[in-house]
Structure 1
């Protein structure tokens, strides 16, 4: 039996809301670990003395509950199981499979003494629809695939841990889906697992749910987006690319597909921010993946993709830590990331290595052109990375991902 490896980042965020009058909503890409985290929460409750009969769990991906398709059925099924001798802790996993589920959850909150935790793999379902019935009565927690620190914990527990910087290269290629790191898989075996996650997300959460007929069109847009991670592009550039392949599509349809990929947490949209004008720019966004292994499982591994995937890793780590992340625009130059959290701000440049003086001048010069005193970083994959340059901290990307200083 596989033991649960704690993911304290999430447990520490969620546990303070136990026994509060809020539905705890955990959302994230399929197989990122949401179900395991709710099991951890249930174990924490048992550790506090809550008996098993007051902890109810339903997984709507399971055949056991496949007949519960409507809010009324959910309500009628669960209400008879609720404890009559104290608060019931109710866990509803992959709740998006139940139509109008939020009506049932709202009724549970109104009619019974319950503490509710729900998980879902569709951000639209977890935001706009939920707010209609649960305004002011829920708290959202975004769950991601394993961070680099969590990945190292899995490696240490299930296989063997190598040099940290070599482990970064492995993490970059195989990604952070927990299922990939429960034993020592080859890249081909790992990508088989990830491709299955990708296919189930595309066909269950996007094609089936939205009744998309032109699946090949969607997949071509996916491939374009995956191949252009870390580059600015627009709907019109995708439409032009498809037109060159003799496939006609309008900009609105492209945006619609990109939105659906975002809703299923396959893609993240990253806007550009004018550092001098202090405003979000509406054009030329970038898209990043919820896990780098998505790219490699679909397109295959190529060495020229490494720089973009390193950016992707840093982007995801900043999101995990609660930062709002944009791409910085400074005159005609670009800052890879501007990360903001309350009164904190970071500026970050990322490169595989700096071998020439003009590269150094470019990477450091852009940050030196920002006229404020917030921390500035140049992150490298070079084994000699380290030190400071005119107040700009230089770090190896592995060290940055594991750092507790930001």
Structure 2
């Protein structure tokens, strides 16, 4: 199993704390495997096998436990009265009124409860309401570039590994699939399960083919500013009339499924959040190649998507920056409210391109860190305090 040290450390830090631990993330991003890794760590620290209770509600043998009372009675019957019990409930959203069982377990002093769920209906609206003030959330993504690289023996260059990372997908299971046909089949399964189960069913979509057309548009426009009207007008011009209201419903479903992330704009000079023209990024850019193929790929926007996800992994809140009439790719805000600014470009060896990318950062008058991230493997450089870095080293934490 590929190690996920940042996520594992999060669980270790919260171990035995009187609060529910929740792991969210798109389907197949590795949540169940993280449970396995954490349970291995518990055993290594002396926790007995009988203290670990693990149930996955996507397994048929647990179907009878998808009622909260049956679940509670089952877990309670397995708990040891004189030791801490580590309770792992995987894909808990399948359990009717799950919060009643979770609450009843949570109040026991010898129960340490861990949950996973695959969509943001469970993770945001429902969870915040039903478990308010009683949980911490770990937002999990597919493999980072650093985690992906750790799965290989060092015979490939960083550039080759990056190409494989974005093309073959960052979902953990794809690392072991050597044939592109098998990778395609695996991604096809994830995509259709997310679309049909997490979007069509939950949002009551009446025209799944229209939803898929909107998804093709979004996948083809990662990193571009989008409005509801722009999406609706594009569909209408291609002969598929759709209202902005319906587009809004679809986009809510797409982001709630954690298939894509919506990134709002931030006015750097006015220090305010803007309500129009968002950008959308994929949870895994390999899905873009799966759906649209390799033609007309903007490598700069693919790289931008990878950088966006890495900023999320590092704990930042991320926005698209607006500085006057100029655009800054990302404004990253840490837990203390400190800001960092990022421009991402495939290459900046051309002087005109370099000046174009520097210009938006030069318009920012504050002294927060500013970075240029590029695929140019050149020595680090600085332009009036703006630091240029080789993006693959940055992704590897160097």
Report the TM-score when normalising by structure 2: 0.95
**Pick aligned residue for 1:224 from 200, 203, 217:** 217
Residues 107 and 15 of structure 1: CA distance in aligned 2, closer, same or farther (over 3 Å): same
TM alignment of 1:207-222, pairs within 5 A: 207-222=200-215
Give the drift of 1:62: 1.0
State the SS of the aligned residue for 1:154.
coil
Give the drift of 1:247: 2.1
| CA contact 1:270–1:286 (8 Å) conserved in 2 | yes
**More displaced 10-residue stretch of structure 1: 39-48 or 280-289:** 39-48
State the SS of the aligned residue for 1:203.
helix
**More displaced 10-residue stretch of structure 1: 13-22 or 131-140:** 131-140
**More displaced 10-residue stretch of structure 1: 368-377 or 223-232:** 368-377
**Pick aligned residue for 2:374 from 377, 380, 394:** 380
**More displaced 10-residue stretch of structure 1: 72-81 or 172-181:** 72-81
Q: What is the aligned partner in structure 2 of residue 246 from structure 1?
A: 239
**Pick aligned residue for 1:57 from 54, 58, 72:** 54
State how far apart, in whole Å, the 1-side matches of 2:109 and 2:207 are: 45
State how far apart, in whole Å, the 2-side matches of 1:187 and 1:388 are: 40
Q: What is the aligned partner in structure 2 of residue 296 from structure 1?
A: 289
**More displaced 10-residue stretch of structure 1: 390-399 or 126-135:** 126-135
State how far apart, in whole Å, the 2-side matches of 1:28 and 1:161 are: 31
Matched length:
397
Q: What is the aligned partner in structure 1 of residue 363 from structure 2?
A: 369
State the SS of the aligned residue for 1:144.
coil
Q: Does 1:347 align with 2:361?
A: no
Give the drift of 1:225: 0.7
State the SS of the aligned residue for 2:378.
coil
State how far apart, in whole Å, the 2-side matches of 1:352 and 1:130 are: 39
| CA contact 2:345–2:375 (8 Å) conserved in 1 | yes
Give the drift of 1:111: 4.8
| CA contact 2:326–2:360 (8 Å) conserved in 1 | yes
State how far apart, in whole Å, the 2-side matches of 1:112 and 1:214 are: 49
Q: Does 1:392 align with 2:365?
A: no
State how far apart, in whole Å, the 1-side matches of 2:349 and 2:18 are: 56
- Deviation string, structure 1 residues 94-139 (Cα, Å, up to 9, x no partner): 1111122112101111356310000110112122212333221110
Q: Does 1:139 align with 2:139?
A: no
Unaligned runs of 5+ in 1: none
Give the drift of 1:82: 1.8
**More displaced 10-residue stretch of structure 1: 73-82 or 113-122:** 73-82
Q: What is the aligned partner in structure 2 of residue 152 from structure 1?
A: 149
**More displaced 10-residue stretch of structure 1: 244-253 or 142-151:** 244-253
State the SS of the aligned residue for 1:67.
helix
**More displaced 10-residue stretch of structure 1: 254-263 or 162-171:** 162-171
| CA contact 2:19–2:136 (8 Å) conserved in 1 | yes
| CA contact 1:192–1:297 (8 Å) conserved in 2 | no
Q: Does 1:262 align with 2:255?
A: yes
Over the residues paired in the alignment, what is the CA RMSD in angstroms?
1.6
State how far apart, in whole Å, the 2-side matches of 1:304 and 1:86 are: 55
| CA contact 1:336–1:348 (8 Å) conserved in 2 | yes
**Pick aligned residue for 1:172 from 150, 158, 166:** 166
- Deviation string, structure 1 residues 196-231 (Cα, Å, up to 9, x no partner): 111111112222334323111111111111011000
Unaligned runs of 5+ in 2: none
Give the drift of 1:6: 2.0
Give the drift of 1:345: 2.1
Q: What is the aligned partner in structure 2 of residue 42 from structure 1?
A: 39
Q: Does 1:103 align with 2:100?
A: yes
Q: Does 1:86 align with 2:79?
A: no
State how far apart, in whole Å, the 2-side matches of 1:212 and 1:155 are: 41
